[in-house]
Structure 1
Amino acid sequence: MKASIYYEKGDIRYEEISVPEIGDGEILMEMEACGLCGTDIHKAQDGTVKGPVVLGHEAVGKIVKKGKNTDRFNIGDRIITAIHVPCFTCHYCNKGQYTLCGQFKNTNIEPGGFAEYIRIPEEHVKHLVHIVPDGVSVEEATLAEPVACCIHGLKAADIQTGDSVMVMGAGQIGSIHGQLAKLKGADKVIITDISEFKLRKAKELGVEYTVNVLNENLGERVNEITRGKGLDIIIIAAGNFSLLAEAVSLLGRGGKIIVFSPFDKDNMVEIDAGRFFRDEISIIGTYSVTPYDFPEAMDIIEKKKINIKDMITHTFPLEKLKEAIELAADPGNESLKIIITA
Structure 2
Amino acid sequence: MTVFLLKRLGEAIVALFVVSVAVFAGVYAIGDPLSLLVPPDATAATEAAIAAELGLDRPLPLQYAAFVANALEGDFGVSFFYREPALQVIAERLPATLELATVAMVIATFVGVPLGLWAGMHPGTILDRTIVTGSVLGFSIPTFMVGLVFILVFAVVLGWLPSGGRGDTVEVFGVRLSVLTLDGWTHLLLPAANLALFPLAFIVRLARSGMREALSLDFVRFARAQGLSRGKVVRLHILKFVAIPIVTLVGLQFGILIAFAVVTEQIFAWPGMGKLLIDAINQLDRPLIVAYILMTSVLFIAINLVVDLLYGLLDPRARLG
Band the TM-score falls in, shorter-chain normalisation? under 0.3
| TM-score calculated relative to the size of structure 2 | 0.23
Higher Rg: 2
Greater share of helix residues, 1 or 2?
2
Greater length-normalized contact order (CA 8 Å, ≥ 6 residues apart): 2
